[in-house]
Amino acid sequence: MNTHALLPLWDARFKRYGNTHYTLTLGKWVLMTNEPENVKVILGTKMAEWPIDGTRLHASVPVLGRKSVFTTNGAQWREARGMIRPSFVRDQVADLHCFAKHVGNFLNAIPKDGSTFDMQELLLSMTMDSSTDFLLGYSTNSLLEPSPEAKQFLEDFEYTSREAAKKSRLGTLLNLLPNGEFQAAVTRVREYVRAYIRKSQAEKTDKKERDYVFLHEILKSGADEEHAIDQVLSVIIAGRDTTAAAMTACFYYLARNPEVVKKLRKEIFDVEDEMPTWEQLKNMKYLNMVIKEGLRLFPPASTNSRAPIKDTVLPRGGGPDGKQPILVPKGQVVRWSLYSLHRRKDIWGEDAHEFRPERWDENLRVGWEYIPFSGGPRICLGQQFALTQIEYALFKFFRAFKSIEPRDDNGPLLLRTNLTVTFAKGCLVSATPDSN
């Protein structure tokens, strides 16, 4: 299966067969939809009828555990989410110093001679460094000199994420096959986090290097080791992978739109301070329009699926025009594509496939038509954490570099659809330092 073309393929099928239609996938019928009203029902108004289950659950449990916020439903899910929520209140996400060191390492790693580099690779490293620092109190330091243990963790984390996504797509076909390499990698990933849990428990409280560490707060809540590991790994996936994917999309388009870069740099240099405040970042209108547009075209979690636990109805997809309700039998898999929903011309205009930040300054009113961080009760808790890191990284990059240019082969854009969407060939660019 060529997963690099799945999202554009589905997008073409939506245009051909309608916004809600059945498709045969690996011998099973799947109901595909990019209707915001249907997604609202599944994730919002009738969430209890559409639990996390099936192949996605079975694929995720080995890596994330049975008590993760991504693998639980009902009371267990509410407990897991309640445990994580305090870590993403404004006081935590507004502390830019937790990003400053790692963004600095990212900028230092960029070639200053105009040579080509993979922006995606650097961003994945930076967000892993910042995420582990925030979560564990110790960074993988992959942009500097990572320890052998950190290197192994990085390799295993990437591998298990890819394999989990593959298992989720292929279901029983792949789960029936023994995979000792996958199980060994899962064990190493979880043991890496376990070592920091025990280190945290052994440290004296009066020797903390800083005020807040996610792991310390999880342990204070009474979570046992396995529960704590589940939550840490869940937040790494949510905080690292999605943030890197969103930033890569922004840089990909900025490299191709020099006029947007000029406008963005003007706004950035209107701020006199080298170290902006959280409030200054949030008040930078054009910067945030750029980020919204990048998230629109490449929402990190571009596709997902659920199956109802009883016969139910979705509001769109039935009737000759596809605008009437449609019956969905118990157990019928329904998959939605934000990649396609965010590119519908009847919602976003004829230029829906183009990167144009100015559309967000045109009284654009969207609800479930735009959900890059999902929606409903399961909306991403780390949304502001991710956005703040993206804002800060873009701010610092364009203070240091006056331009960015694409350096790929101009061929079709291939997307790797794992737990998040990444560019299969990377994001090859060059950057020109600001000489002032």
Q: Which residues are annotated as part of the binding site for heme? A: 380
Count of beta carbons in the 10 Å neighbourhood of residue 390: 26
Q: Taking the chain, what is the end-to-end CA distance rounded to the nearest angstrom?
A: 50
Q: What whole-number distance in Å separates Cα of residue 298 and Cα of residue 217?
A: 33
Pairing of strands 334-337, 28-33: parallel
Our measurement of the distance from residue 276's CA atom to the centroid of its chain's CA atoms, rounded to an integer in Å, reads 25
| Summary count for the chain: helices (H), strands (E) | 19, 11
Is 290 in contact with 260 (CB distance < 8 Å)? Answer: yes
Instruction: Report the distance separating Cα 88 and Cα 71, nearest Å.
Output: 20
Give CA 7 to chain center in angstroms. Answer: 16
- 283-291 long-range CB contacts below 8 Å, 24 or more apart? 284/391, 284/395, 285/361, 286/357, 287/391, 287/394, 287/395, 288/391, 289/357, 289/358, 289/360, 289/361, 290/250, 290/254, 290/260, 290/264, 290/357, 290/394, 291/246, 291/250, 291/387, 291/390, 291/391, 291/394
The residue behind tokens 């790797």 is 416
CA pair distance 64, 273, nearest whole angstrom: 41
Q: What angle do CA 78, 79, 81 make, to 5 degrees?
A: 65
Q: Are 99 and 247 in contact (CB under 8 A)?
A: no
Residue in 409, 435, 403 with CA at minimum distance from that of residue 423: 409
Give the residue numbers of the binding site: 380
Phi–psi pair at 125, nearest 5 degrees: -70, -45
